[in-house]
Amino acid sequence: MLDQAIWTASIPRVGLGCMGMSEFYGPVDDQESLRALRAAYEIGYRHFDTADMYGRGANERLLGRFVQELGGRRDELLLATKVGIRRDPDAPRQLQIDSSPAYLRAACDASLQRLGVERIDLLYVHRRTPEVPIEDTVGALLDLIKQGKIRAYGLSEVSATTLRHAHGVHPVSAVQSEYSLWTRDPEPEILPTCAELGIRFVAYSPLGRGFLAQKPEQTWSGEQDLRQHLPRFRKENVEGNQRLVAEMAQLSASLGLHVADLALSWVLHQRDFIQVIPGSQNVKHVASNFGAARLRLDETVVERLRHLFRPEAVSGERYPEHLLGTVNV
Ligand SMILES: NC(=O)c1ccc[n+]([C@@H]2O[C@H](COP(=O)([O-])OP(=O)(O)OC[C@H]3O[C@@H](n4cnc5c(N)ncnc54)[C@H](OP(=O)(O)O)[C@@H]3O)[C@@H](O)[C@H]2O)c1
């Protein structure tokens, strides 16, 4: 069996989310993104997160260019991608979830080709089709491990029950779900299950897609920006949520920190097996986010933030109704 111990001491707790470099968060610029990727590597980032659906393959191709440049240093990286959400080429907003063995096999081959690597370090099932038994899905992933196409597998936005079943078939190396000050969904079941089974938890959108980092409204209000379609960014909810962030900003200023530092550090303080993957195309942000792993927050600060962003204080759901059904499956 190939080595599956992907979470070695050389993988820092802060990884780089690459999604926004190719789609969803406003204009993209490959040259700018390549600069951010190179800077990230120099700063010490080793965990890079993408998916086949980001930019419909463009994000994996971008990462492939970066990996190519690294040459032999590629082996220092933990290259993670995700498959399982199909997009209609004629209507890219139409998503179809497919965790069937046949689709995962074909999608993995396509990702390998776009990334230009012989093996993917961590392949996630991006979303799960409830009708496909998880045992079948994991069986297909295990075949990919045996064939040397992937080193390890992970699951994104699954329920604790699914996680247990999957882990019983073959050990899960990571669960990736949304987790941040304003999204606490993993706390009651997923984090305790990960703790019990010894599974790493990767927190995506740890900066609330930029909202918790006080990203100015004009940067996310473009019609093409995904955030326009998320309830928390809608007019009726923005004001209430901005009040929470403003209070956090006062607290961070009193500590001499940026709000983004505080938001990332808060997540890292919750459990020692949590990784964060903030997304950024901006070299300055990439650098400052990496420093969040070194911050030590006082317990009173951690608790104050926990209370400030208690779920009933946050306005709006994290996804629109039709997408909420695709998480916790
Ligand atoms: N598994 C899943 O279903 C799933 C879903 C969504 C995302 N993800 C993964 O998680 C990664 C991260 O999530 P995300 O990108 O959605 O959200 P995020 O990390 O919460 O926020 C990204 C936004 O924050 C801004 N930002 C980052 N650092 C900042 C700083 N220090 N100061 C001010 N603004 C800052 C970025 O803008 P700048 O570019 O200007 O820095 C960007 O607009 C993605 O890239 C993707 O790889 C996975």
* Gap between the Cα atoms of 99 and 136, Å rounded: 9
Half-sphere exposure of 94 (CA within 13 A, CB side): 4
Does ligand 1 come within 6 angstroms of the Cβ of 204? yes
The DSSP annotation for 167-219 comes to HHHS---EEEEE-BTTB-TTTTTHHHHHHHHT-EEEEESTTGGGGGGT--GGG
Q: Which two tokens stand for residue 151?
A: 């080193």
Does ligand 1 come within 6 angstroms of the Cβ of 81? no
* Gap between the Cα atoms of 301 and 239, Å rounded: 23
Q: Is the pLDDT of residue 1 over 50?
A: no
Protein residue whose Cα sits closest to atom 28 of ligand 1 = 285
What's the CA-to-centroid distance between 264 and ligand 1, angstroms?
A: 11
pLDDT band at 303 (very low <50, low <70, confident <90, very high): very high
What's the CA-to-centroid distance between 265 and ligand 1, angstroms?
A: 15
Protein residue whose Cα sits closest to atom 13 of ligand 1 = 205
Contact between 31 and 65 under an 8 Å Cβ cutoff? The reply is: no
Give the 3-state secondary structure of residue 245: helix
What's the CA-to-centroid distance between 25 and ligand 1, angstroms?
A: 9
The DSSP annotation for 46-85 comes to -EEE--TTTTTTHHHHHHHHHHHHHGGGGGG-EEEEEE-E
Does ligand 1 come within 6 angstroms of the Cβ of 18? yes
Half-sphere exposure of 292 (CA within 13 A, CB side): 31
Protein residue whose Cα sits closest to atom 24 of ligand 1 = 210
Protein residue whose Cα sits closest to atom 44 of ligand 1 = 17
What's the CA-to-centroid distance between 292 and ligand 1, angstroms?
A: 15
Does ligand 1 come within 6 angstroms of the Cβ of 19? yes
Average pLDDT (110-135) is: 98
Residue of 224, 285, 328, 329 to mutate, ligand 1, most atoms within 8 A of C-beta: 285
CB contact set of 20 (below 8 Å; sequence gap of 6+): 26, 28, 279, 280, 281
Tokens 């961070």: give the residue.
Answer: 252
Class in CATH terms, 16-211+270-295: alpha beta
* 39: amino acid identity, one letter: A
Residues 42-99 pLDDT 10s: 999 999 999 999 999 999 999 999 999 999 999 999 999 999 999 987 887 889 999 9
Q: Which residues pair with 80 in a beta bridge?
A: 49, 122
Residues assigned a catalytic role? 54
Task: Indicate which atom in ligand 1 lies nearest the CA of residue 284.
Answer: 31
What's the CA-to-centroid distance between 223 and ligand 1, angstroms?
A: 18
Residues 143-187 pLDDT 10s: 999 999 999 999 999 999 999 999 999 999 999 999 999 999 999
Does ligand 1 come within 6 angstroms of the Cβ of 232? no
Protein residue whose Cα sits closest to atom 19 of ligand 1 = 278
* Gap between the Cα atoms of 138 and 170, Å rounded: 7
Does ligand 1 come within 6 angstroms of the Cβ of 265? no
Contact between 87 and 24 under an 8 Å Cβ cutoff? The reply is: no
Q: Express as a percent the part of the chain with pLDDT over 70.
A: 99
Does ligand 1 come within 6 angstroms of the Cβ of 59? no
Protein residue whose Cα sits closest to atom 8 of ligand 1 = 204
pTM of this structure: 0.98
Phi and psi, residue 189, nearest 5°: -125, -45
What's the CA-to-centroid distance between 5 and ligand 1, angstroms?
A: 26
Contact between 177 and 169 under an 8 Å Cβ cutoff? The reply is: no
* Gap between the Cα atoms of 185 and 212, Å rounded: 17
Residues 290-299 pLDDT 10s: 999 999 999 9
* Gap between the Cα atoms of 258 and 288, Å rounded: 9
Alpha helix positions (H), the chain:
30-43, 58-70, 101-115, 134-146, 160-169, 190-197, 235-255, 259-270, 283-290, 299-308, 321-324
Q: Containing H/E element for 326?
A: none
Both ends of the chain: CA-CA distance in Å?
29
Q: What angle do CA 11, 17, 22 make, to 5 degrees?
A: 140
Average pLDDT (131-143) is: 98
Domains in the chain: boundaries: 16-211+270-295
